[in-house]
Structure 1
């Protein structure tokens, strides 16, 4: 009886322990209790990682609680607010154009250590205000900067064309000395969720190795939406990511962290990934420039991904930065390393300067609406402003009326997520973390959707190929009505129907996802800011579709006021050089028009 009594007492204590954990942390991972302590509670793992990451910020760079509280209460934390917190040297260096920084680091008048310290400090402030870094590598960055300065002192020349330029990357890319979680709690302390591989912290993505050889310096990795499958950034490490231009709105996704840190000038440039607008949308929402290339121009080798075996509609790497000088420089420099020699998925196409030589007269297509969901007033105003700018430069603008975007609405989800996303659910289940709200629709009832049958997948692929042929034929047919007698050079189009979206009120991604379906290069240009006095809701507007109605109901001129309004420039496949040159021409003209 005494033994039974003791066993009952132990059982009671164990049940009380489980109940306490449930109250504190939600439903526990039962293997923690019954599986030999095989897994921690996911919240403990998160707390330990955040403690480690935040410990990388030097104590004298920690912002006072009063400043953090003020930041949380402000509508905008970019520009004058974050700059008011910086010391004179940090502000002076991070306010330089990247062309000025590179001129000085490559002629020896500005050391890599000074530049790197300035950007690390600004990134530390940006992260504390905005929670946009999943990994911080300031110590590693400063060590690398010192190596570059030593190299310059010894050889009297820079290591490469990006000598001393600090950058950040979405937390999909592997960097030695920094962990990659892709926002999965279960990936902490592992290599892509696998333990004991010997690869933890030792693998580097091909693109990272190229940048290192060129003299660029990684300082951290940015936050993203768990799984990558969403247009807003949220995860169980850092929570929902707010737009630093307007903290009532989203920073976008899936590369939202990169867009946000670029808006706060926390690094000189950065990289995201894109399969359905995941570079273009965050760039547009955060008011920075970007370039999403066609497949095969930049290396994706040794980079983590969702649905890694899906190669019909591949994920591509995109660049974000403050201007198109930077984006051009990054493309030209990385391609100069001949990545196709190490990555068979990169096309052997170096940066072609001849495509940057623009004709005197260009023809622009203008897409004001795709007839499914129309853009909000500020986006339409931005589209028209760019059209007027290019006309003032002597170029022609014609209306763009391509094959229906409805094809992309059907094609994209079937190919990109046709497998039902089993890898996503498996990675979430590694830790027992909850599914974030933004991707619950992928797993109704917390369970996998059945994958589409292989014949259906193949039919979707054939549909995509046929759609590409139709779109290409339309593009070529525009030569019949342009003044030059040549097809349209590039298209001015919306990135999204709205400026940075109100959380959970983004209903339509096809303006961006169609660019991936067609595999076109797309450059994002920040044009203007939403103006509640100019961008008035049209009460007489009659929606095309239910999604259009929902999108228009989500428009609030006062809530969007002051938020960046951007457009994208679409080129023909593999014409990144031409698109960047035209985007650079437009941004310079826009800048002059506002002076």
Structure 2
């Protein structure tokens, strides 16, 4: 499922593929099978695992203390550096893949975040790439030998896809005897194969990344807080450096929010830039506001490299829903010019008029704004059509049919609903769907909202020094720097970008400091939701959690959003070097 919302249709089987076995037995069997896929020499002592559960943070020195020096050296590197070292012959694909598999194994034992483990087949593929390199003295592609992980929605030959549904275990999307079990692959996996990237496993998912197979997934920066959802497993993997980059899915912040909560970079593209062909999903028939595949990593540079590499495969030739839009270099936006010299203008949405962000998010926004201004960039207030409208639109489109397929997927095994999705249903089944005319009215509203948002964006040309519209705007990712379980009240900072189909890049900025990010005793809420959200804030409970912002651009402007995000990172680094952040 994707984020706090789960679009749905009627594509799931109503049969019971695991008849005669309780859901608990099915889960226990899967856990034993997956545990056996971890080499004995990588298995952590029970005392270490128990000790980790009691810790507030798992990042940095703690996890690296469980690894050897070479594993730390390799897994601490970013993707471009790893590619360069393999091209020079300093490292082999087997060395790099072994290091990441080992670290991923440790991450999984500490956090229980992998629904599928594929170390053996990953190492086999790495050996094939090394053979290719020795025979041809060149890399097979721009991601040669780079180990990566994905949210458990993507089909990989040799691995299963359960998408956190117990009833999907041992099946193909809830069906048995299809001939596709462990044989079928998503289009994006085929693209990565040709590029040289190596999938090593698939990560946990669902709202707040809570499910009956692996349990509740916590943020490794602060294990009192959620990893977020629904791509939280992938965000945790990136935060603990268990793979070189990751792929999740997003329909309402399901990539962006976990990236924010776990302190990693992410790209949520517009629909039609990255293939979703043959990817398991809830509600595949809902194409008005489609689910998109997003990228997570340690830097904007990695996000850029992965997207550029995927587009080099011309995915539109295999997937008719991918826009035939090749990668555009900087000069395609501003021929013969340096983007920084154009002095782009950044819009700033400090709050959306519905919910004011918690103090650490406000501080992160302030740090970014100051950094950009000190670097000489213009910033203006951003006041577009209200996110209240996007809230109404998003909920109706995402859940307009009552989520019957999610309900049926749960019934396949008889597993109970986790609290995070219980509100989707009536006590005895799915909610009644909207009528087709009602649904079409919502689509008309969405079209009107998009038109007015575009008109507002273009009107900002009258507010900027350059006489050009704002290039991108910056806003909170969520109104909170972290998420206490079942205390999530406002998703519109990200939901709106899905309604508008805008690309976004999440940038980690700082961390919650209980001595700095204290609640304002004179805070006056602007809405009832704002009051509820601020009442949930506790500086001590949130201490150590990452605080991030998102850079948002117009539809299908991924290259520009990435370039602008790099300017933000450069400005922040310069500001920190001066001791201002």
- TM-score bracket for this pair, using the shorter chain length: over 0.9
The aligned residue for residue 76 of structure 2 is 95
- Change in 2 beyond 3 A, CA 1:109/1:480: same
TM superposition shift of 1:499: 0.8
Aligned equivalents of 1:546 and 1:336: distance in 2? 48
| Offset from partner CA, 1:535-560 (integer Å, 9 cap, x none) | 11012111122211110000001111
Q: Select the residue among 125, 128, 140 that pairs with 2:109.
A: 128
Partner SS state of residue 149, structure 1: helix
Q: Select the residue among 253, 258, 265 that pairs with 2:234.
A: 258
Partner SS state of residue 384, structure 2: coil
Q: Select the residue among 127, 139, 163 that pairs with 2:120.
A: 139
Is residue 166 of structure 2 the alignment partner of residue 185 of structure 1?
Answer: yes
TM superposition shift of 1:36: 13
- With 168-177 and 93-102 compared, the bigger mean Cα shift is at 93-102
TM superposition shift of 1:446: 3.7
Show structure 1 runs of 4+ deviating over 6 A. Answer: none
Q: TM-score with structure 2 length normalisation?
A: 0.94
Is residue 375 of structure 2 the alignment partner of residue 393 of structure 1?
Answer: yes
Unpaired stretches in structure 2, ≥5 consecutive residues: 1-13
Is residue 391 of structure 2 the alignment partner of residue 405 of structure 1?
Answer: no
Cα contact 1:39–1:431 (8 A) shared by 2: no
Partner SS state of residue 505, structure 2: strand
Q: Select the residue among 314, 319, 325 that pairs with 2:301.
A: 325
- Change in 2 beyond 3 A, CA 1:37/1:473: closer
Cα contact 1:223–1:255 (8 A) shared by 2: yes
The aligned residue for residue 43 of structure 1 is 24
Is residue 214 of structure 2 the alignment partner of residue 238 of structure 1?
Answer: yes
Cα contact 1:367–1:491 (8 A) shared by 2: yes
- With 301-310 and 350-359 compared, the bigger mean Cα shift is at 350-359
Partner SS state of residue 225, structure 2: strand
Aligned equivalents of 2:340 and 2:147: distance in 1? 35
Q: Select the residue among 307, 315, 323 that pairs with 2:283.
A: 307
Partner SS state of residue 216, structure 2: coil
Partner SS state of residue 158, structure 2: coil
Q: TM-score with structure 1 length normalisation?
A: 0.92
Is residue 333 of structure 2 the alignment partner of residue 355 of structure 1?
Answer: yes
The aligned residue for residue 181 of structure 2 is 200
| Offset from partner CA, 1:254-296 (integer Å, 9 cap, x none) | 0000001100000000000000000000000000000001110
Q: Select the residue among 421, 424, 445 that pairs with 2:427.
A: 445
The alignment of Structure 1 onto Structure 2 pairs a total of residues equal to 558
- Change in 2 beyond 3 A, CA 1:151/1:384: same
Cα contact 2:502–2:552 (8 A) shared by 1: yes
Aligned equivalents of 1:355 and 1:69: distance in 2? 53
TM superposition shift of 1:388: 0.9
Is residue 405 of structure 2 the alignment partner of residue 429 of structure 1?
Answer: no
Structure of higher RCO (CA pairs closer than 8 Å, 6+ residues apart)? 2
Aligned equivalents of 2:117 and 2:239: distance in 1? 18
The aligned residue for residue 284 of structure 1 is 260
Unpaired stretches in structure 1, ≥5 consecutive residues: 1-30
The aligned residue for residue 156 of structure 2 is 175
The aligned residue for residue 313 of structure 2 is 337
Cα contact 1:307–1:417 (8 A) shared by 2: no
Aligned equivalents of 1:150 and 1:36: distance in 2? 41
Q: Select the residue among 459, 464, 469 that pairs with 2:446.
A: 464
Partner SS state of residue 423, structure 2: helix
Aligned equivalents of 2:286 and 2:214: distance in 1? 28
The aligned residue for residue 136 of structure 2 is 155
**Aligned Cα RMSD in Å?**
1.5
| Offset from partner CA, 1:428-486 (integer Å, 9 cap, x none) | 10011111111000112141100011111000000000000000000000001110001
- With 579-588 and 69-78 compared, the bigger mean Cα shift is at 579-588
TM superposition shift of 1:168: 0.1
Aligned equivalents of 2:75 and 2:20: distance in 1? 43
Aligned equivalents of 1:540 and 1:304: distance in 2? 48
Cα contact 1:355–1:575 (8 A) shared by 2: no
Aligned equivalents of 2:88 and 2:138: distance in 1? 7
TM superposition shift of 1:95: 1.4
Aligned equivalents of 1:554 and 1:446: distance in 2? 31
Partner SS state of residue 62, structure 2: helix
